[in-house]
Chain A
Amino acid sequence: MSRDMSMTTKLLDGTGGWLDDRFHGAKGFRTFFRKIFPDHWTFLLGEIALYSFIILLLTGTFLTLFFQPSMTDVVYHGSYHNLDGVRMSEAYASTLNISFDVRGGLLMRQIHHWAADLFVAAILAHMLRIFFTGAYRKPREVNWLIGIVLFTLSLLEGLFGYSLPDDLLSGTGLRITEGVALSIPIVGTYLSFFLFGGPFPGHDIIPRLYILHVLLIPGVFLALITAHLFIMFHQKHTQMPGKGRTNTNVVGAPMYPYFMAKTGAFFFFTFAALALASTFAQVNPIWLYGPYNPSGISAGSQPDFYMGFLEGSLRMWPSWTWDAWGHTVAWDVLLPALVPLGLIMTGAALWPFLEQWITGDKSEHHINDRPRNAPTRTAIGVAAITFYGVLWLEGANDVIADHLSISLYVTTEIARYAIFIAPIVAYWVTKRICLGLQHKDLHLLQHGVETGIIRQLPTGEYIEETRPLNDEERAVVEARNPVPSLPGGSAAADSDVPPPAMRGGLGRLRQGAYQVLTESVPVEAHGDGHGNGHGNGHGEPDHAAVPAGTEPAEAAIEDHAGDGQA
């Protein structure tokens, strides 16, 4: 022990001292080392995205050592005999070489591809976590927006990346990209000609996508991820509700050594998972697809999963087009390419500000919501997932039709209805589930936890014993964000004369949105001895008759006002 200590001391006084003499780092690093990181398994989702990105940089750099981003025609005479003597682009030939003639090349290619899939999936999951727990709320709106930009870029980066090998599948993807570019009114044809250096496919697109894929977009990624992490670091991480966790503290383990060791382990887990996938699960076997050729295609062509929703959108859209005044507007391509992506991304970007406007809540939030405690937000999120999910499934409708032996056209017809109906159903069901879970929480607060112990009373009556919630459980269940009041205060709901902010069409819209958004089961946190077993019983008799879930906003405000300090 003492030997170790002296070694540490020597190192600190020696190297540490040398560095501090030059950088004045002792104070800053001490704070850094003791920075607290709250713990929750969902906080790892963003880390998966970050580590996938690092793995993408590492494996991608390896691939650039061998890849030739060139569309020059060559005749292949490499190790893969099935394509011997076939004309192909240098890009495709060099990808074959990476796969068959570079040791570890196939492994690196597959890790790179799996890591790209994991990157997008982790970003998606991370964003959903942020949304459902309300972690985007003030002061974190800017980081939420950066996240949306990163997500959009990741789709683009993925599309460009899998287009590079110039195989039959990726060339088809580029052909669709051309079709989408052509559909843009006025500038589309020019855009397509400038992008491809002339008519499709030309000889320029692969080298151009290459430099975007390996330099420009990764550079933007690096900058935005750095900003994302610095902002997160500076604002401190949010935390899940729990005992001792407040809006003005951070509870968890310190950066050094705990978080460093855990996150290092997590990097290795991510890398190991990708290596395992790449060892046992073949991905993007371009040698089976063959080189690109504009007249060839294989049935069941599927893009990577993250492009699936755009593919589905293109598949289900009706064949609308305008021919007028010598011009054609291809609504059948333009709208499906823009509308779903636009709805999801714009909606996500505007949501924090919309929510702030509706609720008038301008305060900082550092304790995450449990999704059930924001029923409307959670329901909107699930509706968005459902919307995305229908598009995504429709993107694989040929595979579904094949496996389930139903008509291809029926799957599309179903999707055309489901895209409208399913999100509404999902919204309604989710909201009911959330409100139900709130009732359950209320029941736990009022009646305690069922222990499963049945006791017979002297009178012969059987009762089940319950135990009160312990402090930790109680802290979680009681952690409810106070519902903020509308501008003009709680008089808004009562008075016949609405406050100025609530007048006019926009004001009424806001009032209505407020009612929907703050719909919640009021918490009677104090257990003051009158629980009626229906979950909506609380002290004020004038409210007891109002069915839970359709509570006027004002009642909810009153009920919530106390629970923050319980």
Chain B
Amino acid sequence: MSDTGAPGGPSNEPTEPPAGPRRVIGTPPPAQARTMLGEAPGDGGSAPARRELPADLPDPGRAKRAERLVAALFILSALASVGFIAAYVGLEVGPIDAVFRSNLALGLSMSVAFLALAFGAVIWVRHLMPNVELTEERHPMRSDPEVREAFKETFEEGADASQFTKRPILRRTLIAATVPLAAAPIVLLRDMGPLPGTTLRHTVWRKGMRLLNYGPNTPIRPGDFSSPGGMITVVPDGFQDNQNALAAATAIIIKFQPGVMRFGKPNQVRGGYVTPNWTVDNIVCYSKICTHVGCPAALYEQTTHHILCPCHQSTFDAPNGAQVLFGPAPRPLPQLPITVDSEGYLVAQSDFHEPVGPSFFERG
């Protein structure tokens, strides 16, 4: 193989220490092509010795064409802005079609106005301003040792004059004064909310409270289910418009074919069983609030009897006490004990027997 290309470089230059503070990398520029600028020592305010930015362009013909183009773009931008104002004045909003029409006219005119300005400015810079490349010196960030020393002296002089270093009692009492002062604003935030107490352990469900079909807000009889299948969202009667109550109390009822539900022993809430005497006529009621972070577990797959939370896909096995089949939820959905009242409507036997929704530290 032959050596082609790769002319010999300065192969025998002395090597610098590898971690040297400021190393020059690359080739220094040819002196005539660039001007060293930057803060010239001593006379930063003096006029430049000669022009650093050329005033004229090499090809006046090209420049003239670019000038016309830029001017045309700026005129286009002005017209588009006028169009924007016209669209604002001329197009009403209100009905959704009118809103979309207005949005299109306003947005398009605005886009054209900005785009024309942007292209105009870029063409101006690239084709109408002479191409320059200047070099500015860069100085190390670190101050000179004398300057640092001088600063240290100034600082220490100030500290001495303030007596801060000499009089520890002043220093300590000042610190002592700021500590409670910093705590005060935090204490001031105390009234942002009530203490949790046992709020999260309860919902508004009470014995005898009817389950309303959420939406139409009508009470439900077991016989209203024409056939087993779907999942119905239910809310406590009297709280259908109370968001705070619903955030905890919203529940779902599902009616199964006989024999599908797996019953456990009475009060055996966990472990994949439905508590039998909390159901009516193969209808079971669970909290709709996911035990993961509280999204509504709103999806139900009839063939598999899976309840799915659309937020993070925790999947609960409806016939088996809403046991967790998949996903991050740590617990089954709590079961609400239900029965029927004297008129045959579904009612709660009591509140949930455990806190609904996501985990909290005091849950236990």
What's the nearest-Cβ distance from chain A to residue B161, in Å? 30
1/0 per residue, CB under 8 A from A, across B116-145: the answer is 011111101100010011111111110000
A22 interfacial contact with B, CB 8 Å: no
A268-B289 Cα distance, complex, nearest whole Å: 47
By the criterion CB–CB under 8 Å, are B107 and A278 in contact? Answer: yes
By the criterion CB–CB under 8 Å, are A249 and B135 in contact? Answer: yes
A294 interfacial contact with B, CB 8 Å: yes
A265-B7 Cα distance, complex, nearest whole Å: 43
The 3 closest A-B pairs by CB, nearest first: A448-B5, A179-B293, A279-B107
Residues of B contacting A289 in the complex (Cβ-Cβ under 8 angstroms):
none
Which of A180, A327, A446, A483 touches B363 (beta carbons < 8 Å)? A327
Which of B19, B20, B315 has the largest number of chain A CB atoms within 10 A? B19
A257-B94 Cα distance, complex, nearest whole Å: 46
A293-B244 Cα distance, complex, nearest whole Å: 10
What's the nearest-Cβ distance from chain A to residue B20, in Å? 7
Residues of B contacting A330 in the complex (Cβ-Cβ under 8 angstroms):
330, 358-360
By the criterion CB–CB under 8 Å, are A293 and B95 in contact? Answer: no
By the criterion CB–CB under 8 Å, are B358 and A275 in contact? Answer: no
Write the chain B residue with the least CB distance to A71.
B243
A509 interfacial contact with B, CB 8 Å: no
Between A and B, 10 residue pairs with Cβ closer than 8 Å are A103-B93, A110-B103, A172-B295, A180-B293, A182-B200, A246-B26, A297-B310, A321-B330, A321-B331, A533-B1
A484-B121 Cα distance, complex, nearest whole Å: 44
By the criterion CB–CB under 8 Å, are A235 and B141 in contact? Answer: yes
The residues in B between 1 and 25 inclusive whose CB is less than 8 angstroms from any CB of A are 1-11, 13, 15-25
By the criterion CB–CB under 8 Å, are B244 and A332 in contact? Answer: no
B82 interfacial contact with A, CB 8 Å: no
By the criterion CB–CB under 8 Å, are A315 and B328 in contact? Answer: yes
1/0 per residue, CB under 8 A from A, across B271-303: the answer is 000000000000000001100111110110000
Residues of B contacting A494 in the complex (Cβ-Cβ under 8 angstroms):
none
Interface contacts beyond A251-B34, A265-B121, A319-B330: sample of 9 additional A-B pairs, CB < 8 Å, sorted by A = A34-B37, A36-B135, A100-B93, A106-B102, A194-B189, A197-B194, A269-B118, A483-B18, A561-B18
A16 interfacial contact with B, CB 8 Å: no
B246 interfacial contact with A, CB 8 Å: yes
Chain B: residues with Cβ within 8 Å of the partner, total of: 120
A525-B233 Cα distance, complex, nearest whole Å: 74
The residues in A between 308 and 337 inclusive whose CB is less than 8 angstroms from any CB of B are 311, 314-321, 323, 326-330, 332-333, 336
1/0 per residue, CB under 8 A from A, across B303-316: the answer is 00000001111110
Residues of A contacting B247 in the complex (Cβ-Cβ under 8 angstroms):
175, 199-201, 294
B199 interfacial contact with A, CB 8 Å: yes
A192-B360 Cα distance, complex, nearest whole Å: 10
What's the nearest-Cβ distance from chain B to residue A154, in Å? 23
By the criterion CB–CB under 8 Å, are B364 and A199 in contact? Answer: no
A198 interfacial contact with B, CB 8 Å: yes
A436 interfacial contact with B, CB 8 Å: no
If over half of B's interface residues share one DSSP class (helix, strand or loop), that class is named, otherwise mixed; here it is loop
A246-B249 Cα distance, complex, nearest whole Å: 68
A79 interfacial contact with B, CB 8 Å: yes
Residues of B contacting A342 in the complex (Cβ-Cβ under 8 angstroms):
none
- Known contacts A295-B250, A448-B4; A364/B140 CB under 8 A: yes
What's the nearest-Cβ distance from chain A to residue B330, in Å? 4
Residues of A contacting B16 in the complex (Cβ-Cβ under 8 angstroms):
482, 561, 564-565
By the criterion CB–CB under 8 Å, are B310 and A299 in contact? Answer: yes
A300-B299 Cα distance, complex, nearest whole Å: 11
Residues of B contacting A110 in the complex (Cβ-Cβ under 8 angstroms):
103, 107
By the criterion CB–CB under 8 Å, are B235 and A295 in contact? Answer: yes
By the criterion CB–CB under 8 Å, are B141 and A139 in contact? Answer: yes
What's the nearest-Cβ distance from chain B to residue A197, in Å? 5
Write the chain A residue with the least CB distance to B192.
A194
Which of A279, A364, A471 touches B141 (beta carbons < 8 Å)? A364
Write the chain B residue with the least CB distance to A401.
B313
Write the chain A residue with the least CB distance to B88.
A103
Which of B28, B94, B103, B246 touches A244 (beta carbons < 8 Å)? B28
Which of B8, B95, B121, B363 touches A526 (beta carbons < 8 Å)? B8
Write the chain B residue with the least CB distance to A104.
B106
A248 interfacial contact with B, CB 8 Å: yes
Which of A139, A176, A279, A526 touches B10 (beta carbons < 8 Å)? A526
B164 interfacial contact with A, CB 8 Å: no
Write the chain B residue with the least CB distance to A106.
B103
What's the nearest-Cβ distance from chain A to residue B307, in Å? 13
By the criterion CB–CB under 8 Å, are B192 and A195 in contact? Answer: yes
By the criterion CB–CB under 8 Å, are A297 and B295 in contact? Answer: yes
- Known contacts A104-B106, A268-B115, A314-B328; A261/B4 CB under 8 A: no
By the criterion CB–CB under 8 Å, are A294 and B246 in contact? Answer: yes
Which of B19, B37, B44, B298 touches A297 (beta carbons < 8 Å)? B298
Which of A30, A105, A295, A315 touches B233 (beta carbons < 8 Å)? A295
A397 interfacial contact with B, CB 8 Å: yes
Which of B20, B107, B114, B328 has the largest number of chain A CB atoms within 10 A? B328
A320-B20 Cα distance, complex, nearest whole Å: 52
1/0 per residue, CB under 8 A from B, across A399-414: the answer is 0000000001100100
**Segment with Cβ contacts to B, from A378-386, A420-428, A459-467, A499-507:** A459-467
What's the nearest-Cβ distance from chain B to residue A228, in Å? 16
A276-B2 Cα distance, complex, nearest whole Å: 57
By the criterion CB–CB under 8 Å, are B293 and A176 in contact? Answer: yes
Residues of A contacting B292 in the complex (Cβ-Cβ under 8 angstroms):
179, 314, 319, 332-333
What's the nearest-Cβ distance from chain A to residue B28, in Å? 7
**Segment with Cβ contacts to B, from A121-129, A344-352, A355-363:** A355-363
Which of B111, B132, B326 touches A279 (beta carbons < 8 Å)? B111
What's the nearest-Cβ distance from chain B to residue A47, in Å? 13
By the criterion CB–CB under 8 Å, are B294 and A175 in contact? Answer: yes
By the criterion CB–CB under 8 Å, are A332 and B330 in contact? Answer: yes
Which of B122, B139, B248 has the largest number of chain A CB atoms within 10 A? B122
Residues of B contacting A284 in the complex (Cβ-Cβ under 8 angstroms):
none
By the criterion CB–CB under 8 Å, are A241 and B96 in contact? Answer: no
